[in-house]
Structure 1
Amino acid sequence: MDYKVLLSSFEQTQEMADWPRQRVIHACLRAAIIGGSLAAGTRLLASRALASELGIARNTVLYAYDQLATEGLVRATARGTLVAALALPAPRKPVGAPANGAIARRMQGVRTMTPADSGTGAFAPGVPALDTFPVALWRRALDRAWRSLGSDELNYADTAGIPALREEISAYLGASRGVRCHAGQVFVTSGTQASLEICARTFADAGDTAWLENPGYLGAVAAFRSAQLRTVGIDVDADGIHPGANEWTKNKPRLIYITPSHQYPTGTVLDMPRRLAMLAQAKACGALIIEDDYDSEFRHEGPPLPAMQGLAGDAPVIYLGTFSKTMFPALRTGYMVVPENLVAPLGAVLARMASHGRVADQLALADFLRSGQFGVHLRRMRRLYRSRRDALVDALQRHLGDDIVIHGSSAGIHLSFRFVDTRLVDTDIAAAAMERGIVARALSAHASGLRKHGWNGLMLGYAQVDVAHMEAAVKTLAAVITAAARDQESASPT
């Protein structure tokens, strides 16, 4: 606590020109304690130290402390003068305050975060097996990076990312995902959400139309709405996003956000005919496709489909990727691959918007990729996630059987299922499961537009759930669903 700042702030808000100094000190500390700036248990500075810091006599401080003790606001202990625990009334809510505070109207429809959104247990989606990450190898890569840095490299870095990492990402994507690019087309970002916000603000104007899958990724909804784009949800079926013929004229898009390799949240995979049709239609109407390939590294059945970006040399596609699923979320590193004609404009925009940092992290990541350690880790995770996927599917079939239809189990690190009994309400079941310690996101809660999408079921992430715990977690979830079905039966008229 900086007592000089505390006293100066207090004096600026009070009329006390004729007050003696000891009264000012007492009133300032009293207001700080009652207002919560000095919390219960806080040890106040010794009287000599506070007098020296404020440039006042010690007796002035002793007077203030004595008055506070008389009022029961502090207590003297062997450790010094401590702020007492007080039963203070809760602060009153300002009368007439808007329900959503200062949030812009365009953002007020964005769904509020729930405990399920930040959970890490069964079955929180998007969370990799963090306990299996080779921390020791990563620490050594970081150590090498820091040892290699000179003082000049502590300055702001290239807004597109350091060249070494861009080279490694370019080589990796060409070999593993069929992406056509060179290092100059790669822009390193702080994650997929940052990439989406860059796309929304750089490649579209306020009022332009952006398509999203429905159900879809709500982070994209937030990014587009914050850029004042008009969002339109396009229905997803068992084969992925499926726009009607009239959508291209009725709701002509400027941006089209899709997750073709493993649709979020349903897990469906966009088939090749639809991919090619989407590319052709987008090119014809001048739209840009934003292809989010967030967990495409994990394919459990059949050959992986190549990235849409690489299906044509002039594909109107901005390709997004992340290391949050393959490495760990706290790394906060993603990337964009943009068409050749957008490299210079995007570089100019980013140069004005933000300066890049975290050079050591990027050097370490480039080293991790170049040394082959990333590939080794990825192969281990593919085997592990396949076994956990198998355990989850087996348990679901055993405990829920014909009551559900599973989708999206062939790839990624999550799957979904729909309820056969359409009377069940997935949001109610998700809330009941959360009370039992199970994170299961409701598919209906991922509506990306005003249209109802017809997906009624749950989304389950399995990457971080040990095989030994899978049976018990599914059994708990099945009990919640069975109880909900029983309640529906008893509520139905006979």
Structure 2
Amino acid sequence: MSSYISSLLFAPLTAKDVTLQQQLYQRIKQAILSGQLPAGTRLPATRQLANELQVSRNTVINVWTHLQAEGYVLSDRQGSRVSPMVSPHILNSADLPASLPLANRLTSLHSSHRINSEEYPLRAGVPALSHFPFPAWRRALNRVLSQTPHRLLGYGDPLGESALREALAQHLSMTRGVRCTAEQIVITEGAQQALSLCVTLLTNPGETGWVEDPGYRGAKAAMHAGDLNVIPIAVDAQGLAPEERHWQNVPPRLIYTSPTHQYPLGVVMSAARRLALIAAAQQHQAWIIEDDYDGDYHHRGEPIAAMQGMRESAPVIYLGSFSKTLFPALRLGFMVLPAHLLSHIRPALHELLRGGNRLEQQALARFITCGDFSRHLSKMRRLYRQRQAKLRTELQRVLGENVVLLGGDSGMHLVLQLQENQDDVALAAALWQAGFAPAALSTFYLADPKQQGLVLGYGNTSDTQIVAGAQQVGRLLR
């Protein structure tokens, strides 16, 4: 190991307002991204690094585990080394976001309504509604109502209430690694409106949009509504996996991906794959939509940081909502726009948006700043880990230890993989008749072959319902 790398890794951890684990993680991650630790660099043993830094070995092991989960570090019997990465000079070759093309049409889009089956167990994407902290939310609402001037009853800033945008900017920076200011955040009526806005503002009819396959149906619907040529891109163990032929034959204007927790398969996009996607998007003048729909619910180690924060000049629009973290009826989402893009499309946003839900936005801002939001997230993480473990146990008990379950590192659902000759659509319909609402995995695909499986949500499903649901699945499969 060179003296330069030794001095970089063994420098004392001195920040007082950040934990030792966070300091070490950020130091190594930034050194890898900046090229100070090139691909293939051998890293010191955890015991050696712990002794040099005078920290516990568990602190170093936790950092190594997190870096491996994100794909920055590879480990084998010989030790740990830096993963292959896209070289930084490729990413910084030009400041492209300011010059990427914008749409020349602005149209109103209407999303379709889905069947209301939230009360059905095993439906994916629905949080534990009975565990929502009504007293804390009521306090926030009452505080706003007691201090609300009449002006708050009128139209607000089309981009959203400044108090909520400031609270969100701080929360996203601390918990998701997002690089943004409050001015870059636009409050929307859920993530679906944000998706539609991206299509409306950034594309023209006939251009190409890429979606994950299998992937979120709402993204496909938004692109189809914008008259885009929708191209399915297969997902592998490292996430969205475009090939060179895709970039050459069907270059995209818009790329939709859920890198932190791919929906529905649950895989995490590796750091190398993320950097490669950013570099290729810059080269081909494409925009990336990063949907971080449940990134706050990571069940193993530290949360996986957002792709948006990996590069300051990344052409990434970061999306999120409070449908999974609070409750769907709140209908509040947001998108974080690149700073250069905002100045170009601000006039269009002022025409398309009207700044509604002002009281709820103000209450949510208080809910976040007073710490109630973080406390609720912590409780839900514990609850969802318990429910996932229960669902795994029951499925293994009913179907055997060899049952294949996909995902589970994050979120509120698992995928039960079925055999090719089993009809997941018919199975999902039979479960619906029995009072359960899992989704058929094959319905999330656009291209063949379509994998058979069941997308099983456990967020809004009690232990008793999990047991009954697993037994019903077992009966139908037998």
* 1:252 and 2:248 aligned: no
Deviation at 1:477, TM superposition (A): 1.2
Q: Which AA in structure 2 matches 1:216?
A: G
Match of 1:480 in 2: 476
Match of 1:454 in 2: 450
* 1:426 and 2:418 aligned: no
Deviation at 1:304, TM superposition (A): 2.5
Match of 1:145 in 2: 144
Query: Any conservation in 2 of the 1:255–1:287 contact (CA below 8 Å)?
Result: yes
Query: Any conservation in 2 of the 1:235–1:453 contact (CA below 8 Å)?
Result: no
Query: In the aligned structure 2, how far is the partner of 1:166 from the partner of 1:210?
Result: 29
Match of 1:161 in 2: 160
CA deviation vs aligned residue, 1:73-116 (integer Å, no higher than 9, x gap): xxxxxxxxxxxxxxxxxxxxxxxxxxxxxxxxxx9xx9x9775x
Give the 3 Å change call, closer, same or farther, for CA 417–239 of structure 1 in structure 2. Answer: farther
Query: In the aligned structure 1, how far is the partner of 2:444 from the partner of 2:118?
Result: 17
Match of 1:276 in 2: 275
Deviation at 1:216, TM superposition (A): 0.9
Q: Which AA in structure 1 matches 2:182?
A: A
| CA RMSD in angstroms, aligned pairs only | 1.7
Give the 3 Å change call, closer, same or farther, for CA 300–131 of structure 1 in structure 2. Answer: same
- Choose between structure 1 and 2 for higher RCO, CA contacts under 8 A separated by at least 6 residues: 2
Q: Which AA in structure 2 matches 1:468?
A: T
Query: Any conservation in 2 of the 1:387–1:467 contact (CA below 8 Å)?
Result: no
Match of 1:200 in 2: 199
Query: Any conservation in 1 of the 2:416–2:453 contact (CA below 8 Å)?
Result: yes
CA deviation vs aligned residue, 1:125-156 (integer Å, no higher than 9, x gap): 11100111111221121111122221222221
CA deviation vs aligned residue, 1:220-269 (integer Å, no higher than 9, x gap): 11111111111111111233211112101111000000011111112222
Query: In the aligned structure 2, how far is the partner of 1:251 from the partner of 1:309?
Result: 24
CA deviation vs aligned residue, 1:335-374 (integer Å, no higher than 9, x gap): 0001011112232111111311121111100000010011
* 1:173 and 2:172 aligned: yes
Deviation at 1:453, TM superposition (A): 4.5
Query: Equivalent residues in 2 for 1:322-333 (5 A)?
Result: 322-333=321-332
Aligned-residue sequence identity (percent) comes to 41
Match of 1:225 in 2: 224
Query: Any conservation in 2 of the 1:385–1:462 contact (CA below 8 Å)?
Result: yes
Q: Secondary structure at the match of 2:244?
A: coil
Q: Which AA in structure 1 matches 2:373?
A: F
Q: Which AA in structure 1 matches 2:465?
A: H
Query: Equivalent residues in 2 for 1:290-439 (5 A)?
Result: 290-401=289-400, 404-419=403-418, 421-439=419-437
Displaced runs of 4 or more, over 6 A:
none
Tell me the TM-score normalised to structure 1 length: 0.72
Deviation at 1:434, TM superposition (A): 1.2
Query: Any conservation in 2 of the 1:190–1:334 contact (CA below 8 Å)?
Result: yes
Query: In the aligned structure 2, how far is the partner of 1:163 from the partner of 1:453?
Result: 47
Any stretches of 5+ residues in structure 2 without a counterpart?
Answer: 1-108
Q: Which AA in structure 2 matches 1:441?
A: A
Q: Which AA in structure 2 matches 1:123?
A: L
Q: Which AA in structure 2 matches 1:457?
A: G
Q: Secondary structure at the match of 1:252?
A: coil
Query: In the aligned structure 2, how far is the partner of 1:469 from the partner of 1:414?
Result: 14
Tell me the TM-score normalised to structure 2 length: 0.75
Q: Which AA in structure 2 matches 1:466?
A: S
Deviation at 1:302, TM superposition (A): 3.1
Match of 1:440 in 2: 438
Query: Equivalent residues in 2 for 1:95-134 (5 A)?
Result: 115=115, 118-134=117-133
Q: Secondary structure at the match of 1:246?
A: helix
CA deviation vs aligned residue, 1:7-39 (integer Å, no higher than 9, x gap): xxxxxxxxxxxxxxxxxxxxxxxxxxxxxxxxx
Moved more, 464-473 or 334-343: 464-473
Query: In the aligned structure 2, how far is the partner of 1:370 from the partner of 1:454?
Result: 44
Q: Which AA in structure 2 matches 1:426?
A: D
Give the 3 Å change call, closer, same or farther, for CA 273–401 of structure 1 in structure 2. Answer: farther
Query: Any conservation in 1 of the 2:152–2:359 contact (CA below 8 Å)?
Result: no
Give the 3 Å change call, closer, same or farther, for CA 205–379 of structure 1 in structure 2. Answer: same
Q: Which AA in structure 2 matches 1:251?
A: V
Query: In the aligned structure 2, how far is the partner of 1:417 from the partner of 1:283?
Result: 37
Q: Secondary structure at the match of 1:159?
A: coil
Query: Any conservation in 1 of the 2:384–2:412 contact (CA below 8 Å)?
Result: yes
Q: Which AA in structure 1 matches 2:424?
A: D
Moved more, 384-393 or 461-470: 461-470
Q: Which AA in structure 2 matches 1:475?
A: Q
Deviation at 1:402, TM superposition (A): 5.4
Query: Any conservation in 2 of the 1:323–1:331 contact (CA below 8 Å)?
Result: yes
Query: In the aligned structure 2, how far is the partner of 1:255 from the partner of 1:383?
Result: 36
Q: Which AA in structure 2 matches 1:135?
A: F
Query: In the aligned structure 1, how far is the partner of 2:290 from the partner of 2:414?
Result: 20
Moved more, 212-221 or 230-239: 230-239
Deviation at 1:121, TM superposition (A): 2.0
Query: Any conservation in 1 of the 2:288–2:317 contact (CA below 8 Å)?
Result: yes
Q: Which AA in structure 1 matches 2:240?
A: I
Deviation at 1:325, TM superposition (A): 0.6
* 1:469 and 2:465 aligned: yes
Query: In the aligned structure 1, how far is the partner of 2:436 from the partner of 2:330?
Result: 26
Give the 3 Å change call, closer, same or farther, for CA 113–236 of structure 1 in structure 2. Answer: farther
Any stretches of 5+ residues in structure 1 without a counterpart?
Answer: 1-106, 483-494
Give the 3 Å change call, closer, same or farther, for CA 456–402 of structure 1 in structure 2. Answer: farther
CA deviation vs aligned residue, 1:385-414 (integer Å, no higher than 9, x gap): 110011011111121235642111111011
